């Protein structure tokens, strides 16, 4: 099973060795509540187990869990109460989910997991080096270098959302603060509007105008800066941008990103191309399931043949 603890949603999916997602359960919330989310996830897992035949139950090997590395560091930014900070600081998410479900569980950073899902979705021959941006409540990310998914010793992904960009007022800030749905939330609040409930893919985005268009434009500018900053450090072939947003909104975001990339002159190397991702909102849960199977049956490294 692939499980995601997201900032605004949870997801549980059943994935097989042939690369098929067999079932999915998704639920939205205002923030991940440490006092109840593991019981809620265990209930979702049990729903899926109850639907399996005895033979398939024997084939269920475990859970790949995708979650942010530092939930405690940002939960107040999305409206979580202060007591959640200390609760999340002390939680081993993999151990807690394993105890709640009785299934072996491995944790993966959500950005790394989503990037891995994108690697496997790329057509052959796969690109050997690219940057991945996942626009959600914050900007998840990952980097593939020489056919390998990069991670630091703690298991954290490349935090491309922390690249410094210009905010709407021109002051330096993080890409997280401009190109994320959390940034859109702040714009809506300032305009006297409220973020819709439920999943962003299902929002009435026309009702969010003109705030949505202003956010898309600023997010595109920030992502263009982040792409070129990444290119300055790593010779990426391209940047893949995806998100938990409708494909029509993603297309507009990519158009703005490409527009602002074109306004920055080439220095030595040409600008990388920008492409949409294909895994969309289920990328993290899918990648976590894939990584669990990959590590169990194929390799402990995160290197994947790309040709």
Reading the chain (307 residues) residue by residue, the pLDDT tens digits are 999 999 999 999 999 999 999 999 999 999 999 999 999 999 999 999 999 999 999 999 999 999 999 999 999 999 999 999 999 999 999 999 999 999 999 999 999 999 999 989 888 888 889 999 999 999 999 999 888 888 776 666 688 999 999 998 889 999 999 999 999 999 999 999 999 999 999 999 999 999 999 999 999 999 999 999 999 888 898 999 999 999 999 999 999 999 999 998 877 677 889 999 988 779 999 999 999 999 888 876 555 544 3
State residue 280's pLDDT score. Answer: 75
Cα–Cα distance between 184 and 151 in angstroms, integer?
Answer: 29
State residue 306's pLDDT score. Answer: 42
pTM: 0.92
Residues in the chain: 307
The answer to whether 285 touches 136, Cβ cutoff 8 Å, is no
State residue 270's pLDDT score. Answer: 79
């Amino acid at each position: 099973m692939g499980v995601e603890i997201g900032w605004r949603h949870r997801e549980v999916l059943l994935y097989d060795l042939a690369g098929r997602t067999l079932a999915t359960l998704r639920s939205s919330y205002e923030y991940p509540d440490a006092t109840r989310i593991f019981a809620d996830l265990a209930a979702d897992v049990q729903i899926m187990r109850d639907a399996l035949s005895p033979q398939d139950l024997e084939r269920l090997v475990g859970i790949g869990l995708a979650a942010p590395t530092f939930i405690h560091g940002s939960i107040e930014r999305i409206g979580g109460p202060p007591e959640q900070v200390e609760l999340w600081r002390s939680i081993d998410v993999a151990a807690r989910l394993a105890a709640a479900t009785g299934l072996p569980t491995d944790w993966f950073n959500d950005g790394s997991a989503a990037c891995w899902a994108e690697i496997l979705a790329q057509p052959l021959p796969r690109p050997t080096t690219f940057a991945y941006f996942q626009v959600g409540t914050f900007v998840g990310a990952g980097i593939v270098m020489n056919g390998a998914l990069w991670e630091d010793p703690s298991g954290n992904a490349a935090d491309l959302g922390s690249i410094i960009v210009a905010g709407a007022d021109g002051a330096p800030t993080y890409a997280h603060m401009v190109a994320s749905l959390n940034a859109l939330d702040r714009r809506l609040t300032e305009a006297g509007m409220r973020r819709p409930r439920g999943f962003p893919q299902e929002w009435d985005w026309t009702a969010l105008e003109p705030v949505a268009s202003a956010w898309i434009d600023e997010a595109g500018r920030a992502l263009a800066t982040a792409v070129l900053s990444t290119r300055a450090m790593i010779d990426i072939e391209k940047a893949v941008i995806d998100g938990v947003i409708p494909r029509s909104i993603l297309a507009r975001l990519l158009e703005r990103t490409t527009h602002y990339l074109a306004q920055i002159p080439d220095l030595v190397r040409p600008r990388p191309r920008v492409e949409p991702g294909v895994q969309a909102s289920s990328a993290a849960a899918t990648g976590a399931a894939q990584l669990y199977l990959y590590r169990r049956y194929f390799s402990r490294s995160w290197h994947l043949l790309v040709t």
